[in-house]
Amino acid sequence: MVTNGLQQAFLDRGGFSEVIWKGKHTNRIILQLSATNDDTNEIYDYGITILGSATDAIAVEEERLVVKAGNQAITLIDLNNCQGKVTHWDGSIAFSPPGPGHSALEFNVPGWAGTDVQAFVASWRFYHLLPALMKQPNTATNQTFLTENGDNFSSWLLTLRTNYPEEFRMLEQAATDIFPDLDAVLTPLTQFIASASSREKHLHHPIPLRHMSDGEVTFLAWLSLIFAPENLGSSFLCAEEPENHLHPHLLEILVELLLQHQNGLGTQAAQVIITTHSPYLIDRFNLDDLIVADKWEGATPCTSPASKEHLRKLLERGELGLGNLWFAGALSEDVR
């Protein structure tokens, strides 16, 4: 929405009807965001209500952005059906209200505080890594992030090695510690084309990326995200089923590395949301970390099992692991 516009965001997903999807009929989507700037202690509250029609046309019914600083609350966006104001801190007009199918956050206006929110949301990253695409050679150009499916993987690794040698060293050290035969991660260049490879201790020649195992390539990609430098990282990262292609032991190590790195960063650590079906992965987290998504009558209710005291006692006694409880269905809520 903030990078390509609201209209394009819906078109990319098949239109409003595909975003709202099947199930109960409704023509309204409500999105809300609350974020705190740790440097200034300012709280940003944003909300947008989007209406859709049978023809998949969309319109913004309401949009608001309020910044709370101490005892002050300043409204930067206050729009209702294209009427209202978009203002600066001092109340002066930043720009005219956008048309009905547009969000105010689509517009990059120098000096407007809402641009900070736009940049914050634009920095979010979503990952569903696909090894077949990751193994393709890339044009050797600097990358600012690893793409959603990882199809710029070789060029991304080359960027880390060239511009961020310390972060690349940590990535390579972690990989060689975990894979005992791995000697080095290589990023050779051939006529401006980057294609990563690996060097193993008992082999005479490097292994090209296309011949590396899916698990090894995927693991290296997750490592690159964990150890990415701050200016190439993201404050909010979503990972789709990171257990795919990984041996359960590698999955456990990956979570340990992530948690260690997060703890080291403290309040500067990214917020990470993971979707998973893996009991091995669930076992590495706490009950308070989990949200369970169920499917019921076309809807997707999400519940937190942390409020179930009997589950907490079971876990404290060590009778069952969290992954076992999830596998048995004990973490789900009866929403009927």
Q: Are residues 150 and 262 in the same domain?
A: yes
Stretches in the chain below the pLDDT threshold 50: none
3-state secondary structure of 46: strand
Residue count of the chain, please give it. Answer: 336
Distant-in-sequence, close-in-space partners of 252: CB < 8 Å, separation ≥ 6: 280, 283, 284
Last residue of a domain, which of 122, 154, 173? Answer: 122
Helix then strand then coil, % of the chain, to nearest 5:
35, 25, 40
Angle at 36 between CA 33 and CA 41, to 5 degrees: 150
| Ramachandran angles phi, psi of 100, nearest 5° | -65, -25
**pLDDT tens-digit readout, 143-176:** 999 999 999 999 999 999 999 999 999 999 999 9
Q: What is the pLDDT of residue 279?
A: 94
Last residue of a domain, which of 122, 146, 177? Answer: 122
Distant-in-sequence, close-in-space partners of 198: CB < 8 Å, separation ≥ 6: 182, 183, 184, 185, 186, 206, 207, 212, 216
pTM: 0.89
Q: Are residues 133 and 215 in the same domain?
A: yes
- 330 class by beta-carbon count within 10 Å (0-12 exposed, 13-18 middle, 19+ buried): middle
Q: What is the pLDDT of residue 319?
A: 78
3-state secondary structure of 267: helix
Q: Are residues 103 and 212 in the same domain?
A: no
Q: What is the pLDDT of residue 320?
A: 84
The answer to whether position 1 is within a domain reads no
Last residue of a domain, which of 265, 285, 305? Answer: 285
Q: Are residues 84 and 136 in the same domain?
A: no
Q: Are residues 202 and 260 in the same domain?
A: yes
Q: Are residues 261 and 325 in the same domain?
A: no
Q: What is the pLDDT of residue 24?
A: 67
Q: What is the pLDDT of residue 51?
A: 95
Q: Which residues span the domain enclosing 316?
A: 289-336
